[in-house]
Amino acid sequence: MYRTNTPNLENYWMPFTANRQFKAAPRLLASAEGVYYRDIDGNQVLDGTAGLWCVNAGHARKEISQAVERQLNTLDFAPSFQMGHPIAFQFAEKLAEIAPGEPGKKLDRIFYTGSGSESVDTALKIAIAYQRAIGQGTRTRLIGRERGYHGVGFGGISVGGLVNNRRVFPQVPGADHLRHTHDLARNPFTKGGLPEHGAELADDLERLVALHGAETIAAVIVEPVAGSTGVLLPPKGYLERLRATADKHGILLIFDEVISGFGRLGAPFAVDYFGVTPDIITTAKGLTNGVVPMGAVFTSSKVHDALMHGPEAQIELFHGYTYSGHPVACAAGLAAMEIYEKEALLTRASELATYWEDAVHGLRSRKNVIDIRTIGLVAGIELASRSEAAGARAYDVFVDCFKRGLLIRVTGDIIALSPPLTIEREQVDELMSILADALDRAD
Ligand SMILES: Cc1ncc(COP(=O)(O)O)c(C=O)c1O
């Protein structure tokens, strides 16, 4: 228990948390700087997760807080429906500069949202609206993938593939799923590139076309690297094959880059990393360095322009949020982009990737480790589950790490690591050393 007085924990209903368990033994972070948090007693905690995959430039960046303060004192809020403010356009122009996509297919039309979940629902709605605008109004079906995570809106859980997020709630009619690509038997401890086996799983889209009819399918959405389910890398050739099949059947391809966007893989976006251009990407998190909630959907001109039809006085897309293009979020985002650019953070993970990969694979012989996967500055470490208690072992490792000054993230019995892109090699060593000891201690 903490020596410092803990706040009253009763009223806050915590998200994605075992509330009763947490409140019986809380973990409370009080401040942060660089790659470290401090808990309420002042103990240092290495941030092995960039907050929640979002604090890419590290914590307490003065450039961002100063930009936010300036914006708050200039224009704290302005409506975005039938009104505009300069910084929203400036930020979109900046994002368009780094937007990925091959020539002629650059994803440089930007729609703002307030979060990753809103970005996903926005992208799905844009896809359906696009199909209708080009005379394909029967295409309303949405395809996701097993084990996918696309946030918690009804659209996102419908295409998502994590059972706990789905079983309680009804879903958008017509959603269906590709099979996931996780294959421990054929691709264990993949090192030095993408998993060899599994490109053929992209042909699952053909199966769903044969089952439902292409003329009913608007879009397919995948995370290029599945994050929340425990870091699953796309098999070699998989994304290319998915792109080709989607094209063949007039289906839009959406990459959910809420995690992979803004440098996590060692390139600005997964689109750049893999060299496969979808029609739409969704982003959030690193968009503002996690400092102010915000998301953005990037689309190609093809998608955008198809909707710019009809009488000019007509609203083209009946969609948007009170906080779309919030001026303070735009200020934080612009400042974050300046840092990313100045410190070359959007490619820094590529410099550290080999060191990181070697360090994480150094845990291979630790107790209960059955797989390790890395890409850029991301790692998934899969543990054998205790019989009758899936997730319990990784949870114990998580609590042990936190007590010893390291924040990791666990999902089931998979540990996910994604430190700030500013992390130094010694800090990577520190992370691995605490984690290795915790793995050895866990029964
Ligand atoms: C791939 C992906 N999509 C969507 C989301 C949802 O983002 P948010 O929690 O900001 O709604 C997440 C969050 O982790 C994510 O990883």
pLDDT digits (tens, 9 = 90+) for 219-243: 999 999 999 999 999 999 999 999 9
Is residue 226 within 8 Å of residue 147, measured between CB atoms? yes
The reply to whether ligand 1 has any atom less than 6 angstroms from the CB of 150 is: yes
The number of the ligand 1 atom at minimal distance from the alpha carbon of 256 is: 1
Please report, for residues 42, 152, 257, 306, the alpha-carbon distance to residue 284 in angstroms, rounded to integers and kept in the order given.
30, 14, 8, 25
pLDDT digits (tens, 9 = 90+) for 267-316: 999 999 999 999 999 999 999 999 999 999 999 999 999 999 999 999 99
The reply to whether ligand 1 has any atom less than 6 angstroms from the CB of 256 is: yes
What's the CA angle centered on 277, arms 91 and 218, to 5 degrees? 95
The reply to whether ligand 1 has any atom less than 6 angstroms from the CB of 124 is: no
Instruction: Residue count of the chain, please give it.
Output: 443
Is residue 377 within 8 Å of residue 266, measured between CB atoms? yes
Rg (the chain; Cα; Å): 22
Is 164 buried (19+), middle (13-18) or exposed (0-12) by CB count in 10 A?
exposed
Residue 258 Cα to ligand 1 midpoint, Å, equals 6
Q: What is the mean pLDDT of residues 27-49?
A: 98
Residues with Cβ within 8 Å of residue 41, at least 6 apart in sequence: 2, 3, 4
The number of the ligand 1 atom at minimal distance from the alpha carbon of 120 is: 4
The pLDDT score that the predictor gives to residue 426 is 98
The number of the ligand 1 atom at minimal distance from the alpha carbon of 282 is: 3
The reply to whether ligand 1 has any atom less than 6 angstroms from the CB of 255 is: no
Among 66, 60, 65, 62, residue whose Cα is nearest residue 33 = 60
> To test the ligand 1 pocket, which listed residue (285, 294, 378) has its Cβ within 8 A of the most ligand atoms?
285
The reply to whether ligand 1 has any atom less than 6 angstroms from the CB of 224 is: no
Residue 117 Cα to ligand 1 midpoint, Å, equals 6
Tokens coding 117: 């979940």
Q: What CATH topology corresponds to 67-342? A: Aspartate Aminotransferase; domain 2 (3.40.640)
pLDDT digits (tens, 9 = 90+) for 159-210: 999 999 999 999 999 999 999 999 999 999 999 999 999 999 999 999 999 9
Q: What is the mean pLDDT of residues 71-78?
A: 98
The number of the ligand 1 atom at minimal distance from the alpha carbon of 228 is: 16
> Which residue do the tokens 């490619």 mark?
347
The reply to whether ligand 1 has any atom less than 6 angstroms from the CB of 257 is: no
Residue 118 Cα to ligand 1 midpoint, Å, equals 9
Closest Cα to atom 12, ligand 1: which residue? 151
The reply to whether ligand 1 has any atom less than 6 angstroms from the CB of 121 is: no
The reply to whether ligand 1 has any atom less than 6 angstroms from the CB of 227 is: yes
Tokens coding 203: 């042909």
Is residue 145 within 8 Å of residue 162, measured between CB atoms? no
> Which residue do the tokens 């060899």 mark?
196
Percentage, residues of the chain above pLDDT 90 = 99
Residues with Cβ within 8 Å of residue 156, at least 6 apart in sequence: 117, 120, 121, 150
Instruction: Give the strands of the sheet with 369-375, arranged side by side.
Output: 369-375, 378-383, 414-417, 409-411
Residue 294 Cα to ligand 1 midpoint, Å, equals 11
Q: Is the pLDDT of residue 100 over 90?
A: yes
pLDDT digits (tens, 9 = 90+) for 392-429: 999 999 999 999 999 999 999 999 999 999 999 999 99
The reply to whether ligand 1 has any atom less than 6 angstroms from the CB of 190 is: no
> To test the ligand 1 pocket, which listed residue (49, 118, 120, 298) has its Cβ within 8 A of the most ligand atoms?
120
The number of the ligand 1 atom at minimal distance from the alpha carbon of 117 is: 11
Count of C-beta atoms within a 10 Å radius of residue 38: 15
Residue 274 Cα to ligand 1 midpoint, Å, equals 20
SS (H, E, C) the chain: CCCCCCCCCCCCCCCCCCHHHHHHCCCCEEEEEECEEEECCCCEEEECCHHHHCCCCCECCHHHHHHHHHHHHHCCCCCCCCCCCHHHHHHHHHHHHHCCCCCCCCCCEEEEECCHHHHHHHHHHHHHHHHHHCCCCCCCEEEEECCCCCCCCHHHHHHCCCHHHHCCCCCCCCCEEECCCCCCCCCCCCCCCCCCCCHHHHHHHHHHHHHHCHHHEEEEEECCCECCCCCECCCCCHHHHHHHHHHHCCCEEEEECCCCCCCCCCCCCHHHHHCCCCCEEEECHHHHCCCCCCEEEEECHHHHHHHCCCCCCCCCCCCCCCCCCCHHHHHHHHHHHHHHHHCCHHHHHHHHHHHHHHHHHCCCCCCCEEEEEEECCEEEEEECCECCECCHHHHHHHHHHHHCCEECEEECCEEEECCCCCCCHHHHHHHHHHHHHHHHHCC
Residue 251 Cα to ligand 1 midpoint, Å, equals 23
Return d(Cα 177, Cα 220) in angstroms, integer. Answer: 9
The reply to whether ligand 1 has any atom less than 6 angstroms from the CB of 376 is: no
Among 197, 198, 204, 140, residue whose Cα is nearest residue 178 = 204
The pLDDT score that the predictor gives to residue 1 is 75
Is residue 60 within 8 Å of residue 33, measured between CB atoms? yes
The reply to whether ligand 1 has any atom less than 6 angstroms from the CB of 297 is: no
The pLDDT score that the predictor gives to residue 261 is 98
The number of the ligand 1 atom at minimal distance from the alpha carbon of 223 is: 1
The number of the ligand 1 atom at minimal distance from the alpha carbon of 151 is: 6
pLDDT digits (tens, 9 = 90+) for 255-275: 999 999 999 999 999 999 999
Is 318 buried (19+), middle (13-18) or exposed (0-12) by CB count in 10 A?
exposed
Return d(Cα 327, Cα 79) in angstroms, integer. Answer: 9
Percentage, residues of the chain above pLDDT 70 = 100
Does the domain spanning 19-57+344-441 belong to CATH 3.90.1150.10?
yes
pLDDT digits (tens, 9 = 90+) for 313-348: 999 999 999 999 999 999 999 999 999 999 999 999
Domain boundaries defined on the chain? 19-57+344-441, 67-342
> To test the ligand 1 pocket, which listed residue (56, 149, 262) has its Cβ within 8 A of the most ligand atoms?
149
